[in-house]
Structure 1
Amino acid sequence: MILPIQLFIWDANGTIFDDKDVSDMSRDAIFDHFGVARPNPAEWADRVSSNILDLYHSFGIPLSVSREEINRIRMEGYVKNINEVRVRDGARDLLWSFRGIGLFPYSALISAEVPAIIDILLRRFNIKNQLGIVIAGAWPKKRYLEKFVDSTGLPRRRIAYFGDTAEDVRISNELGLVSIGLVNPTSYSSVGAIMAENPDLAVVDMKDLSQRIAYFRQTSIGLNTDS
């Protein structure tokens, strides 16, 4: 099936940016700070979500710890290791391609990540000008995504959301968007968790995604969802 897409929305961490190792180190720093045993990586990958407060509390971080405190420690650990973050191979090419064909508004980024971290990453890798709209600190993620989608006036099945977590796929499906899951060894969620949410399309990397873009039109791309 070829799905015509007029707006392509990206997640940031684990999707545009290959940063799982850095994220894991900042996560472990949070558990170490509060003297709580680090979580099992596989269990974390099955349960990871943008609702970090409930997520960390469920793994033993004291209920008295706030979202702001978790974000502060995360940012310190993330920035400390930021030299290890990379842009995923092929992401730049896709961003430029979407901009060049007149998508509305070529590409957007919606992420629950700490806004300061997103700003640092976009500036560091000089890709902010390849995105039409950037929304960071988007939590609850579904509410932010729905508000933005509604503001475009586009049919929801003409909008794709591309993320690397089971939550990304689930939210996309609940909102009636075209859901694209990145099932890569360095995705934040496990492959099993992502596939359990039944994405419209699952890709292993940017090359895989680019090969699914079947044709170009003036204001849309054709996304091939056939296996």
Structure 2
Amino acid sequence: MAVSPRVFPSRKRCPSTGSSISSKFADLNLVKSLLSLSQDISALKPLQCLLKQKSLSTINKSKLLAIVFEQLLHNPVSTSFSPLILLCFEEMYIVFQRIKTLMEDCCNGSKMWLLMRIQPLANSFHELTLELSTLLDIFPVSELDLSQDVEELFVLVRKHCSQSKPSIDPRDDSLRRDVLALLHQIKKEIVPHHLKLKQILDNLGLSNQSSCREEIECLQDEI
């Protein structure tokens, strides 16, 4: 009597050793990418004239998280991660990419462009920090074999992220109002007072001919 193939259940495939190793390397590569990206952000200089506190805070958080990622790479116990950890890592990578892009846009843009968009840019820093805060909140840090000091750094970053606010520095807002008032005067063909004009330019970091020329070139590229 012939036996139908349907009598036998389909054979379960046992994962090969190679696939297990590939998965481990994939996990480690993700952590390496996070470390590299967080180090890239950490290496950026804080914005000097506008959004200084926002950019400095972002850089400091990246530096602390880079320490976490670095320990994970050097800790052989933590080379295999749960699905939740991997999901958080993947989402963190996306957030870090957006943070880096935002920082670079602010660094490379003209001061005037930055000033006129100060509130939307501050909101962007805030929103990205909140996204990072959410990921850190659900991240199962207890599953990792981190040292106590590094785990405390993680908790510290999580706490600071949760305290983020969309407000802008009052000095930045005051400078924006001064520039708008100056532009209004010029529109009415009123010659601005040279001391007030110098003060505004100094506050924007445009204190010499070279910096003013660079600002004009940046504005021309953006218009």
For normalisation by structure 1, the TM-score amounts to 0.26
Bigger fraction of residues in helix: 2
Higher alpha-carbon Rg: 2
Larger RCO (CA under 8 A, 6+ residues apart): 1
For normalisation by structure 2, the TM-score amounts to 0.26
